[in-house]
Structure 1
Amino acid sequence: MYLVLVAWLAIHTMKEARSSSWADLQPELLGLVLMRLPSLIDRVRLRAVCRSRCSNARLQPLPPPLPWLVLLDGTFLSIPDGKIIRIPAPDNAFCGGSSESWLFFVHSDGGCSLMNPLSKATLDFSELIKRWFNTRSMYKSFRKLVRKLVVPSPLESSPGSHAALMLGGSRVHICQPPFAVNLSLEGGQVLCDSLDDIAFFSGKLYGLFGHGERLSTFEIICGLDRKPKISDIKCITNYPLVTRILPQPMPNSCLVQTYLVECCGKLLMVERRIEWADPTSRYPLEHERTVAFQVFEADLSTKPGQWRCVFELGDQALFIGKHCSKSFPAGECNGLQKDCIYFMCDYLSLDQASDPICDPLRDSGVYNIRNGEITPLLPETAVVPQHHGGKWCSTWIFPTDDV
C-alpha cells in the first residue's frame, strides 16, 4: 500500500503545483489500496474520504475483512493487527454469542435479538424466547446458559431458514427465525447428554457428543402444525473408528474440548488439549494452558462414518470458540497464517468459578497444525488490551464489507 501511495505522490509532484487530495487518486490505484487494507475500519475510513471514487474502484470483489474478537467490555479486537474497534451497542444487553457478522443479544427486559453491529440491522427473537421460557425469572439465568447459535447459511441470503440454539445443559432448540412469514412458529427441543458442539453442514444439523466419541445428525421436520422439531438423532460415527495420529506426545493430565466447524466443503472436528500445570492440585484449572490441537475430517462415505486426521487446511485458517467457530481464507494480503488455528480462552478457571465469563486473551494463540508450534495471538507491536471485565461473552465475529 505504501509503495502505491509513494508512486502516486511522485507522479503528482512532477505536475503543475496544485493541492492534491485523496479525491485525485485514480480508481485503479484506489482499488489496489483497498486490496491492501484487510481491516474493515481502514476501508471505511478511506471511503469516507473519497466515497465516489471508492465506489468506482471496486471493480472486483475484495477479500473478506479481518475477523474480530469480541471482548468482555463490548469492544472488538481486530485479528491479527490488534486494533481496538468501539461501536455503540444496545443498552442493558448481554452478548451471548455470534453467527457470522451478527451478534446474539439477551436484553435485560427479557427479549433476545440478533444485531449486525455495523449496519445496525436487527432481527427480533423475543417472541420465540418467551415461548421457550414461561417466566421472566428465567432470563437472568438464560444469558449465562447460551452456548451457541447456528444457522445453515448467512442470514442475509436465507432469512427464512431454521436456526438452532444450544444452551448449557446440552439442550438444543430448533426455531424458524421471526423474520420468516409465520412469526408464531415455536422451536421444538430435545435433551442430549454430553453434547459438546453443534454445526450446520450441507443443510443438515450435526451434533458432537462425548469429545468426539459420536457424531450424529438431528432430523428436523415440521408437523401438521408447521412447527419445526427434532424427530430423531442418528449416530453416524463411533469412537472406535476414529483414526488418531498424534503429531507429538500429549500430556498425561489434560482437559479436552472439541469443536465442529465447516471448512471448504468438509466437516471438521477440532480437538483441543489443555494441560494442567499441576495434576495433583485440588484445583487443576488454576494454571492451565493450551498445548496442542488435533483436526479430524468426517468421512461420511462409509457406514458408519469415520474420522480421518488432517494435517493441512489449504489456504484456510480456523477460528474456534465455544460460541462460534469458522474457517477463514488466509494469506499475505491479510496477515493470517495458513494451516493454523486461532484460539482464545473459552473455558473456566478457578477465579471464574462464580461467574462464567473469562478473559479471552488469558490462554490464546495461534497453533500451527503442521509443526505444532504456538505463537501469540497478537504481534509484538500490538498493544494487548487490559482485562477489565464486562457482561459480554467472548466470541468471534466476521464483519462483511457491505457498509
Structure 2
Amino acid sequence: MAAEHPSAWPDLPPDLLATVLRRLPSLADRVRLRAVCRPWRSSASGLPPSHLHLPWLAFLDGTLLDVANNAAHRVRIPDDAVCYSAGENTLFLAHDDGRCSLVDVFSGAVTPLPELAVHLHACNVNPRYELMQPITKVVVSTSAAELEEHCRLVAVVIQNRKVIISTCGRRAAGETNNACLALDDHFGFCIADVKFFQGRIYALSKANETLAAIDLNKGRLDDLPPCCVEVVILRAASEKIEMTHEPHLHEDPWPFGHVVAGWYLVVSNNGKLLMLRRWTRKRLLSSDHYDEWIEFPDPDGYEVKRTRRFDVFEMDRRYGRWNKVHDLDGQALFVSPPCSKSAPPAGHGAREDCIYFVHQMGPRRPEDPLGDSGVYNMRDGTITRRPLMPEPAAVSASLPWRYRFPAWVFPVEIEVSNSV
C-alpha cells in the first residue's frame, strides 16, 4: 500500500532539487524554494551557489531592477518609514516613531535595532527632515570572519561626521541586547566613505584622502579603548589631485578642467582595500548679473556632471600611502554612492577590468531613471553609456525624483530562518 502512494515533496531527491535550482533564473525564486521546508533548505545548503548574473539596482521606493533581464520587482516599504540601502541585499528602514531595522530584500527577514534607534534619537536624527542631521550612509558588515560568532555590525553615518556602530542580530530568549558605539567626530574630518574590512571600520576623508581605522575588537564594542583611531594613510594619493592623461587612455578635451565628484572604498576579490576617484568636468558659469547665471552646455551631448573617468588606488599600510593601480586583475567593480563591491566577472557575466557605476544626477531628465550610469574600462579609459539595458522599460519614468537614487544590490544565496 505504501508503494502506491507518491512520495511527499520534502522527500525530493537532492539531485533533482539541484536540477530545479539550476533552472530557476531568479534569486527570489531560489530563496522561496529554500523556504518551503527544512529538508529542502538542508539539501540546498550543500549545493554549490547558483550562477549569478549582474547585480540588481534598488531605488528608495522599494523598486528592485534586475538589470540582466530588465525586470522590476517591488519590496514593500511601510508608509511610515524612510528607506536607505545598507549594502549587499539589505535595506535600512527608519520609522517615523523612532524605530529602525534591517530588511533583507529577498527573504523579507526583518532585524529590529532598538538600541541603535535610541542613539539616533539622541542625535536628533529625523529622516523626514534631513536638513539638520541627515543620515548620509548606512553600511552592514558582510563577513564575520574577524568577529565573534553570530556577530554582525551596522554603521550609520550622520552628517558625514558622526558614526554610530551597532551589533545586530535576531536575539533569542535570554540573549543580551545589542551593543552600540557612538563616534562623535572621532575621525576628525568630513567622511567620503566608510567600509568594514578585516575586523576594522575604515573612514576616508574628503579633504585630503586620509584614511583612518578603528579596530572593532571582534565586535565587542563595549570593551573598546577610549582612544582607538588609527591613521593608516597620512597623505593623499598625490600631492595635487588632478586628472592625468596617460598614453593608453583617451584624453577628455574639456578645456576648463576636471574635479573629483566622489570617492568610494571597495574591497577587492584578492583582499585589498581600494579607493576610487570619480571625475567629472568642471562647471563653467558666466553671467553679467548675479541672478542670471548661465551654465555652458556640454558639446558632446552629456551634462557636465556626467562621470568622465575613474582612478583606482590600493591601500599600502606599510608605507602609509595609496598606490595607483592600472588594472583590476580581471575583476569587475560595481560602484554607487550607497554601496560598492567587487565581483569576479565569471560569476556575474560582467566585463573584466571594468567599473560599473550608477549615480543619480538630478531631476533635469525625468525620462532617464538611471541617471549617470555606464561602464568604465580600465584598459583603454573608455566609457560605455547605457550599457545595462537599451531602454529602462522596467522602471517607470514617472518615479518621483527623490526616489531616483539607485544603489547596487548584490544577490547572495542566503539562508532563511529555521522558523520558516
TM-score (norm 1): 0.75
The whole-number CA distance in structure 1 between the counterparts of 2:40 and 2:391 is 33
The 3 A distance-change label for structure 1 pair 225 and 146 is closer
1:85 matches 2:84: no
User: Which of 286, 293, 298 does residue 310 from structure 2 map onto?
Assistant: 293
User: Aligned partner of 2:48: which letter?
Assistant: P
After TM superposition, give the deviation of residue 125 of structure 1 in Å: 1.9
Kindly report which structure 2 residues correspond to 1:248-259, keeping only aligned pairs within 5 A, or say none.
248-250=250-252, 251=254, 252-259=257-264
Question: Could you tell me which residue of structure 1 aligns to residue 413 of structure 2?
Answer: 401
Aligned to 2:52: 65
Determine whether 1:383 maps to 2:388. no
Tell me which of 273, 278, 298 is aligned to 2:279: 273
Q: Secondary structure at the match of 1:364?
A: strand
Distance verdict in 2 for CA 1:171–1:44, change over 3 Å: closer
Identify the residue that residue 5 of structure 1 maps to in structure 2: none
Q: State the one-letter code of the partner of 2:117.
A: I
Instruction: Determine the C-alpha separation between the residues in 2 that align with 1:134 and 1:48.
Output: 38
Deviation at 1:318, TM superposition (A): 1.2
For residue 166 of structure 1, report the CA deviation from its aligned partner: 1.5
Could you tell me how far apart the structure 1 residues matched to 2:413 and 2:152 are? 23
- Greater shift, 66-75 or 138-147, is seen at 138-147
Deviation, 1:77, is 0.4
Deviation, structure 1 residue 178 = 6.4
Residue 183 of structure 1 corresponds to which residue in structure 2?
A: 177
Distance in 1 (alpha carbons) for counterparts of 2:72 and 2:221:
50
Rounded to whole Å, the distance in 2 between the matches of 1:142 and 1:382 is 30
Q: Distance in 1 between matches of 2:142 and 2:221?
A: 26
Shift of 1:149: 2.3
In the alignment, is the contact (CA less than 8 A) between 2:72 and 2:394 conserved in 1?
A: no
Q: Judging changes above 3 Å, is the alpha-carbon distance between structure 1 residues 35 and 204 closer, same or farther for their aligned structure 2 residues?
A: same
Q: Partner residue of 1:40?
A: 27
Q: CA deviation at 1:85?
A: 1.3
Matches within 5 A, 1:207-356: 207-210=203-206, 213-220=209-216, 226=223, 231-239=228-236, 246=246, 247-250=249-252, 251=254, 252-264=257-269, 265-276=271-282, 278=284, 280=286, 287-300=304-317, 302-314=318-330, 316-331=331-346, 334-346=348-360, 349=362
Structure 1 residue 382: deviation in Å?
6.0
- Residue 76 of structure 1: how far off its partner (Å): 0.3
1:197 aligns with 2:166: no
Conserved in 1, the CA contact under 8 Å of 2:77 and 2:83? no
Task: Please say if residues 86 and 140 of structure 2, whose CA atoms lie closer than 8 Å, have aligned partners that are also in contact.
Answer: no
**How many angstroms does 1:258 deviate by?**
0.8
Q: Once the 2 structures are TM-superposed, how far is the Cα of residue 110 of structure 1 from its aligned partner?
A: 1.8
What is the CA distance between 1:401 and its match in structure 2? Answer: 2.5
What is the percentage of aligned positions where both structures have the same residue? 32
Give 1:150's aligned amino acid: V
What is the TM-score normalised by the length of structure 2?
0.72
* C-alpha deviation, 1:135, in angstroms: 7.7
User: In the alignment, what sits opposite 1:3?
Assistant: none
Q: Does residue 116 of structure 2 align to residue 128 of structure 1?
A: yes
Q: 1:149 aligns with which of 123, 128, 138?
A: 138
**Contact kept? 1:98, 1:397, Cα under 8 Å:** no
Q: Which amino acid aligns with 1:175?
A: S
Task: Quickly say closer, same or farther: Cα 1:29–1:130, change in 2 above 3 A.
Answer: closer
Q: Which runs of 5+ in 1 are unaligned?
A: 1-24, 353-357
CA distance in 2, matches of 1:339, 1:127: 41
Q: Aligned-pair RMSD on alpha carbons?
A: 4.2
Deviation at 1:241, TM superposition (A): 5.4
Task: Give the partner amino acid of 1:261.
Answer: V
**Matched AA of 1:213:** E
Q: 1:359-395: per-residue Cα shift (whole Å, max 9, x none)?
A: 7611111222112222224232762523311765532
Residue 116 (structure 1) shift: 0.8
TM-fit CA distance, 1:104: 0.7
Q: Supply the distance in 1 between the matched residues of 2:354 and 2:25 (Cα, whole angstroms).
A: 18
Number of matched residues?
Answer: 372
Q: Distance in 1 between matches of 2:183 and 2:368?
A: 31
Compute the displacement of 1:227 (Å).
7.0
1:163 partnered with 2:154: yes
1:329, 1:68 → 2: CA distance? Answer: 16
Does the 8 Å contact 1:80/1:377 carry over to 2? no
Q: 1:147 Cα shift?
A: 2.4
Q: Is the 8 A contact 1:217 1:236 kept in 2?
A: no
The equivalent residue for 2:381 is: 372
Residues in 1 aligned to 2:89 and 2:56: alpha-carbon distance in whole angstroms: 10
Q: Which amino acid aligns with 1:40?
A: L
Higher mean C-alpha deviation, range 290-299 or range 146-155: 146-155
Shift of 1:163: 3.2
CA contact (8 A) 2:89 2:411 kept: yes
Distance 1:277 1:134, change over 3 A: closer
